[in-house]
């Protein structure tokens, strides 16, 4: 993060972000608010008056990482403020158990965060956030939410028209763009809706305006993020496309000058419509990439998860995707060791993974989450059984994804260049940032970060590809 000067106040603040790309958008919104509020943004916590830690509260390891980061920030001697999902979810409880944090602030503090940091810097006490179920803040009926949302703080929803309240915190050619927040699903293992709230879409004109701003800041790939992208538009009304709003939005974003690639993330399989599959797979400038949250494929386990689908229906969706785009990238996450899971359920998951030939799979062992329905379920498995199943599925996934990468040898891919230091490294359309592998570009090539190169795949190593340019650049900065 390059330092951003503020003419109003010499106070310096550093922002540290944990968790997902949605949190990255929230941090950049906070950076915009703080800069506008007179704070100087710095990438050096030790030289800052206040360090703001945007925490993650999704799973136990993420909570531990958030606490460790807060403690490390306190060691710099700066004042420390916790924000983000863990702060929103636990509030005063976190403050009571972590005196190293000078303040624990929830989402409702975001609009006046600059003032709250001034209070902290000057030694004034700021009352800790008191958690509440944020699903109660908006109407149950989705189409009634847009009018009501004006009075509710929804992180990442602050930009409108030509005024984008956001500041880039790095110079990456990839930028997350939050299309919605919250979730209406009732998955038994997930607590996110309780602290992120009900699903709320952003207006498509607002998203196009922010995409244009991001392109002007050097972004060449837009990574569309939300808790559930397949629900986008269901609260916008028919005049804006309703449940078909995503199909209309994607071509608009892909047409923004300077944007070379648009990528959609966080798709729910049960809500992934044939028209949406077609638009993602066939629209120029939109990556033929499908981040599908399968979680499992055994019907019995899925029902206990309060989800829908089966091995056969999921395989049919994969087949539908590849009928449009045979080389499409497909990734997922799966949870093993869910309460009541049997050996037959694991075998069914193995059948799905073997038949689907996915490009990337995250494998997670089940653990109880505070306040979730699954926390109360019977049939809990011993940790040693869960660990064995994680290892078993992980080994299968490693073999299958390596085979899928090897199958790409001889094909041509478009690689977005992300680094030109010791070697040229980037990602193809089927590789999302950080989680799906990368491409190493061979040859003594004079290129810049942000270029799109047409390359032939000549080798693979696990999920990573080795590629050689063919025919020059597909697109430049």
Q: Is 85 labeled as ligand-binding?
A: yes
Decide if 197 contacts 138 (C-beta within 8 A): yes
Pairing of strands 464-475, 452-461: antiparallel
Strands (DSSP E) found in 230-359 = 261-264, 289-291, 329-336
User: 3-class SS at 351?
Assistant: helix
Evaluated on CA atoms 217, 206, 184, 301, the torsion sign reads: negative
Bridge partners (DSSP) listed for residue 413: 455
- What is the rounded CA–CA span in Å between residue 245 and residue 92? 39
- What is the rounded CA–CA span in Å between residue 425 and residue 417? 6
Pairing of strands 412-419, 180-181: unpaired
Decide if 456 contacts 431 (C-beta within 8 A): no
- What is the rounded CA–CA span in Å between residue 283 and residue 131? 42
Contact partners, residue 232, CB within 8 Å, separation at least 6: 179, 180, 201, 226, 245, 246, 249
Helices (H), 243-310: 245-254, 274-282, 299-304
- What is the rounded CA–CA span in Å between residue 107 and residue 30? 11
Q: Is 183 labeled as ligand-binding?
A: yes
Q: How many residues does the chain have?
A: 477
CA distances from 169 to 27, 29, 63, 287, 477 (A): 8, 10, 23, 24, 19
Evaluated on CA atoms 405, 411, 415, 421, the torsion sign reads: positive
- What is the rounded CA–CA span in Å between residue 392 and residue 384? 12
The two tokens of residue 214 are: 């991001």
User: 3-class SS at 228?
Assistant: coil
Q: Is 187 labeled as ligand-binding?
A: yes
Q: Is 56 labeled as ligand-binding?
A: yes
Residue with tokens 């244009």: 212
- What is the rounded CA–CA span in Å between residue 189 and residue 192? 9
- DSSP code per residue over 110-130: GGGHHHHHHHHHTT---PPP-
The two tokens of residue 125 are: 């006490």
| Residue numbers belonging to the annotated binding site | 20, 56, 85, 183, 187, 190
| Residue numbers belonging to the annotated binding site for [4Fe-4S] cluster | 20, 56, 85, 183, 187, 190
């Amino acid at each position: 993060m390059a330092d951003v000067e503020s003419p109003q106040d010499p106070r310096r603040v550093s922002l540290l972000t944990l968790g997902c790309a949605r949190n990255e958008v929230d941090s950049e919104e906070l950076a915009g608010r703080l800069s506008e509020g007179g704070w100087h943004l710095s990438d050096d916590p030790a030289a800052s008056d206040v360090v703001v830690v945007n925490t993650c509260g999704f799973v136990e390891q993420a909570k531990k990482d958030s606490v460790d980061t807060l403690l490390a920030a306190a060691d710099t001697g700066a004042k420390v403020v916790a924000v983000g999902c863990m702060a929103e979810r636990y509030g005063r409880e976190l403050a009571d158990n972590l005196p190293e944090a000078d303040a624990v602030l929830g989402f409702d503090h975001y609009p006046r965060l600059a003032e709250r940091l001034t209070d902290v810097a000057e030694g004034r006490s700021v009352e800790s956030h008191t958690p509440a179920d944020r699903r109660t803040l908006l109407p149950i009926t989705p189409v009634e939410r847009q009018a009501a949302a004006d009075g509710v703080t929804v992180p990442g929803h602050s930009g409108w028209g030509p005024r984008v309240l956001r500041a880039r915190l790095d110079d990456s050619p990839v930028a997350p763009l939050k299309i919605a927040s919250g979730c209406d699903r009732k998955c038994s293992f997930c607590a996110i809706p309780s602290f992120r709230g009900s699903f709320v879409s952003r207006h498509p004109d607002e998203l196009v305006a922010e995409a244009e701003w991001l392109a002007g800041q050097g972004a060449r790939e837009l990574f569309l993020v939300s808790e559930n992208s397949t629900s986008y538009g269901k609260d916008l009304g028919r005049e804006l496309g309703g449940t078909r709003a995503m199909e209309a939005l994607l071509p608009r974003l892909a047409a923004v000058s300077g944007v070379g690639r648009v990528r959609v993330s966080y798709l729910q399989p049960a809500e992934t419509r044939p028209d949406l599959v077609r638009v993602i797979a066939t629209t120029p400038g939109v990556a033929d990439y499908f981040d599908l949250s399968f979680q499992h494929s055994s019907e019995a386990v899925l029902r206990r998860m309060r989800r829908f689908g089966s091995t056969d229906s999921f395989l049919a969706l994969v087949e539908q995707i590849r009928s449009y785009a045979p080389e499409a990238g497909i990734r997922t996450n799966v949870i093993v060791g869910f309460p009541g899971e049997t050996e037959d359920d694991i075998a069914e998951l193995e059948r799905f993974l073997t038949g689907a030939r996915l490009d990337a799979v995250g494998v997670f062992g089940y653990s109880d989450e505070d306040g979730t329905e699954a926390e109360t379920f019977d049939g809990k498995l011993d940790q040693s059984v869960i660990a064995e199943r994680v290892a078993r599925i992980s080994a299968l996934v490693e073999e299958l994804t390596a085979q899928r990468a090897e199958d790409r040898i001889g094909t041509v891919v478009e690689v977005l260049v992300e680094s030109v230091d010791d070697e040229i490294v980037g990602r193809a359309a089927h590789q999302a940032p950080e989680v799906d592998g990368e491409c190493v570009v061979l040859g003594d090539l004079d290129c810049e970060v942000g270029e799109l190169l047409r390359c032939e795949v000549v080798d693979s190593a696990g999920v990573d590809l080795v590629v050689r340019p063919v025919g020059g650049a597909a697109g430049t900065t």
